[in-house]
């Protein structure tokens, strides 16, 4: 893992920006076939007459891309990005041709009382397209390790 940050390196207000991911129709359809086989995620023509009025990525695909961006560049934690859960919103569809990146901010750092070697960190992550529009809002509680004694 590329990250170097431990619990004591994080404070509310710390911000991180990920690399970019370019999404295309083939990726959207591939994910949908595996996990969300509905017309508006599978077929551009069939999607026109649906709620989405055109091909849109599964929200869970947007979430999965967001996770990859966080793991590889967006949240450089030494022991990895381990979430226990969170809140997710998709205020607008993710579309073919979108170029996504993730902007994250630390909201809260909560040392564990029972587990001195780690704590919880609340992080808000927005997944934005190339127009700066928010396609996903995610607030997660992450398990983050303290720096091991050297």
State the residues that interact with its own copies by CB under 8 A: 1, 31, 34-40, 50-51, 58-60, 63-65, 67-68, 71-72, 79-91, 137, 143
Which DSSP symbol is given to 35? H
Environment class of 64 (CB within 10 Å of its CB; exposed 0-12, middle 13-18, buried 19+): middle
Nearer to its own copies, 16 or 40 (CB): 40
Nearer to its own copies, 65 or 109 (CB): 65
| Cβ-based nearer residue to its own copies, 65 or 106 | 65
The CB-of-21 to its own copies minimum distance in angstroms stands at: 10
Are 85 and 94 a contacting pair, CB within 8 Å? no
CB of 15 to its own copies, least distance (A): 22
Which segments of the chain does DSSP mark as H helices, in order? Answer: 25-35, 39-42, 44-47, 59-69
- Helix 25-35 and helix 59-69: axis angle, to 10°? 110
Nearer to its own copies, 5 or 81 (CB): 81
The minimum distance between CB 149 and its own copies, in angstroms, equals 17
């Amino acid at each position: 893992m590329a990250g170097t940050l431990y619990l004591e390196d994080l404070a509310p207000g710390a911000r991180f920006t990920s690399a970019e991911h370019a999404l295309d129709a083939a990726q959207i359809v591939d994910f949908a076939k595996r996990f969300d086989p509905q017309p508006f995620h599978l077929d551009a023509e069939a999607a026109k007459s649906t709620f989405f009025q055109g091909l849109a990525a599964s929200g869970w695909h947007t979430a999965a891309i967001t996770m990859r961006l966080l793991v590889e560049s967006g949240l450089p934690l030494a022991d990895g990005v381990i979430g226990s859960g969170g809140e997710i919103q998709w205020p607008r569809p993710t579309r073919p041709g979108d170029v996504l990146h993730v902007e994250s901010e630390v909201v809260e750092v909560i040392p564990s009382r029972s587990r001195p070697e780690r704590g919880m960190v609340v992080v808000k992550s927005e997944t934005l397209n190339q127009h700066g529009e928010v396609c996903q809002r995610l607030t997660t509680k992450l398990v983050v390790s303290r720096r091991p004694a050297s």
